[in-house]
Amino acid sequence: MASEKAGGTILVIGGGIGGLTSAIALRQRGFAVDVIEKDPDWTVYGVGIIQQANVVRAMSQLGILDDYLEAGCPFDHVEVYLPNGMRVARIPTPRLAEGYPANVGIGRPALHRVLGDRTKSAGANVRLGLTADALEDDGAGVTARFSDGSESRYDLVIGADGLYSATRAMLFPDAPRPRFAGQGVWRYNFDRSDGLDSLCVYEGPTGVGLVPLSPSLMYMYVTTPEAGNPRYPTKGLAQAMREKLRGVPAPQIQTLATQIVDDDAVVYKPLETLFLTGDWHKGRIVLIGDAVHATTPHLGQGAGMAIEDSLVLADELERASDIETALGAFRARRFERCRYIVEESLSICEAQVAGRTIDQAAATRNMFEVIARPI
């Protein structure tokens, strides 16, 4: 794409983690970037997210590591507990950015601020409350027609618009739909427990994790079987989450359960998964992140895979002499790594739904081995 770079313009559809890291990586390489986001308020829900060593490495490559670490809470271990609360493993995790921690727990709003601020300061044009109603690719470029009646011309369009990607629906109308995985995930913020210095994972049919977010804050995630994919109204969510924890005998979890009292602070999501085994692009339009490889959260790598996508795509666009070559190389570099995360995460999910015992420590070690490899 070198011949197009000087005058090349790129549209990023979606102002979430994948879209914003794409904008940052592309601006680093001199591309002109527009980002559109359908949410006029550009908000994210207020619980946390786990970011492991490959994300710390990626944030270093994006040039935002110090701001990122300042907004989060670093840690270097994963602890695994039996359902009764007994710790059975404390696993050191690899550091992939020299001189920096292996993992970070960070609140989603804090991460969003870091990425949004850097996207704008890098010179990307961000437009909110806007969708792409049509993308017309004539081979020489893409004309995007927007929901406000305007239109613009681009050399490339990146669909970073999530699990229910409208861009994917335009490109591949016959592609598989997201599939419910049989579980839901519940999240809630707490005052940080004394001595919590790692991700703490509790095994069992109801999976529980505790993640430090700051010196004073942590969050709990809970994965539960959800036959029939029910929907829960906001009123009563706190009681519903407490009920889900009744079958977890660990005393430390039961103590925390009594503090789940605010319906509005509970975040519940059904777990859905998607992996496109065919093309990830068509012409000058490409999909990244959850739009093409959505995973359940059991290995904590959904955002990590989207961030790595951003770096690899920017790298291939800078390197290649034409867009088709760049987009083919992007998929080739990402396919097996992303498939591993999707399939291994889903296998843990399915084992929990079936009530089977899984070796969480072994799954965690294997995952760290994979993500430590260069992207």
CA torsion sign, 359 to 73 to 310 to 161?
positive
Q: Are 333 and 80 in contact (CB under 8 A)?
A: no
Q: How far apart are CA 307 and CA 295, in angstroms?
A: 14
Examine the pLDDT at 266 and tell me if it is beyond 80: yes
22 domain-assigned: yes
pLDDT at 204: 83
Distance CA 186, CA 167 (A): 28
Domain of 75 in residue numbering reads as 2-178+272-371
Total domains in the fold of the chain: 1
State the CB neighbour count (10 A cutoff) for residue 291.
31
The radius of gyration of the chain's CA atoms, rounded to the nearest angstrom, is: 21
Looking at residue 45, what is its pLDDT? Answer: 83
- Average pLDDT of the chain is 94
Per DSSP, the three-state class of 82 is coil
| pLDDT: which is higher, 237 or 6 | 237
Dist. CA 126–CA 289, nearest whole Å: 19
Contacts 24+ apart (CB under 8 A), 252-259: 252/85, 252/193, 253/85, 253/202, 253/208, 253/220, 256/190, 256/193, 256/210, 256/220, 259/190
Domain membership of residue 145 (yes or no) is yes
Q: Which residue has the higher pLDDT, 300 or 22?
A: 22
Provide mean pLDDT across the span 226-239.
Answer: 96
Per-residue pLDDT band for 10 (boundaries 50, 70, 90) equals very high
User: Residue 6 pLDDT more than 60?
Assistant: no
d(CA 214, CA 196): 11
- Residue-wise DSSP of 110-123: HHHHHHHHHHHHTT
Residue 303 counted as domain residue: yes
When comparing pLDDT for 358 and 22, which is higher?
22
Maximum mean pLDDT: which of 86-90, 192-196, 286-290, 359-363: 286-290
Mean pLDDT of 4-15: 78
Going by pLDDT thresholds of 50, 70 and 90, the confidence category of residue 7 is very low
- What mean pLDDT comes out for the span 233-239? 97
Closest Cα to residue 49, out of 71, 24, 23, 65? 71
Under the banding of pLDDT at 50, 70 and 90, the label for residue 82 is very high
pLDDT band for 357, please (50, 70, 90 cuts): confident
Q: Would you say residue 104 has pLDDT above 50?
A: yes
Please give the average per-residue pLDDT across 247-259, as a whole number: 96
**100 within a domain of the structure (yes/no):** yes
* Higher per-residue pLDDT: 361 or 154: 154
Say how far apart CA 217 and CA 196 lie, in whole Å.
10
Distance between CA atoms of 138 and 32, rounded to whole angstroms? 20
In this model, does residue 345 exceed pLDDT 60? Answer: yes
How confident is the model at residue 223, as a pLDDT?
94
Position 228 in a domain: no
How much is the pLDDT for 8?
A: 79
pLDDT band at 344 (very low <50, low <70, confident <90, very high): very high
For residues 265 and 240, give the distance between their C-alpha atoms in angstroms, rounded to a whole number. 13
User: Is 62 inside any structural domain?
Assistant: yes
Containing 274, the helix (H) or strand (E) segment is strand 267-275
* Percentage of the residues of the chain whose pLDDT score is greater than 70: 98
Count helices and strands in the chain by DSSP H and E runs: 11, 20
- Residue 74 belongs to a domain with what CATH number? 3.50.50.60
Position 205 in a domain: no
pLDDT of residue 85 exceeding 50, the answer is: yes
Judge if pTM exceeds 0.85: yes
**Does any domain span residue 223?**
no
SS3 340: helix
Helix axes 53-62, 302-319, angle to 10 degrees: 40
